[in-house]
Structure 1
């Protein structure tokens, strides 16, 4: 009796298996049962809660924004991501990433992100997001890999200078 080895199926490369944050954000945004029960608004600061983990290669956060609430200028510590506005309108300004000895530079203009829209970004993205509208806003954020650190920036004219870091498990 002869035994013939069967060819083993090949697995897709790791590149093909990486999560696509925009697709995940859209899927979760389109499933209100996953996030709607978690919506809370806080008059003093943005409310944020991490959705229960469903994968090791990304994380999902729900954020709520009353009028006037926003973030400082920040990056995502090398994580790529996307956010979906699921209620209201958010306004984003972004900057070119810092390079060598050059600081990040604010890109003129702002982007309005209305309910139903998804904003993907790469691992070097620097931005500031605010609810500049008159009504509350809600958004779903996906980061891949999960956030470990975020650098905050201080704006000086059109330039952004690093002003410190926040670490997962320490500052949030």
Structure 2
């Protein structure tokens, strides 16, 4: 019984990591508006959230198929959780690819443990997922100049305060 819960989540996490790698490779090879909208442009919390959100969103149908159903709201919540985990892990002293992999793995594990049991109307989770996708696209085109949009190396709050 445990095997049937673990294997789909592991396969979905592996597929999401492969999708993240593919998106990053496409962004490097073919820099353009579409690849910039779907993959990280710099190492900022906002951009690293994209590194986990869109690959988890792409792996959601695979997880749905492997589980032969499940929670659609939970799958949307998994993608949102991945974005939040990547946002939180951006300032960890690890490479950006490791941040994305840890966020994807954490979101897939959380789905396997708890989020797959999310029941009820999935509409609020759909709306939040679509809203975040639209926000990622729009705020990649016209990025604000501060807060979570700053690159990890440009954050002045991490520097010493001279007084």
Q: Higher strand share goes to which structure?
A: 1
Q: Higher helix share goes to which structure?
A: 2
TM-score (norm 1): 0.28
Q: Which has the larger radius of gyration?
A: 1
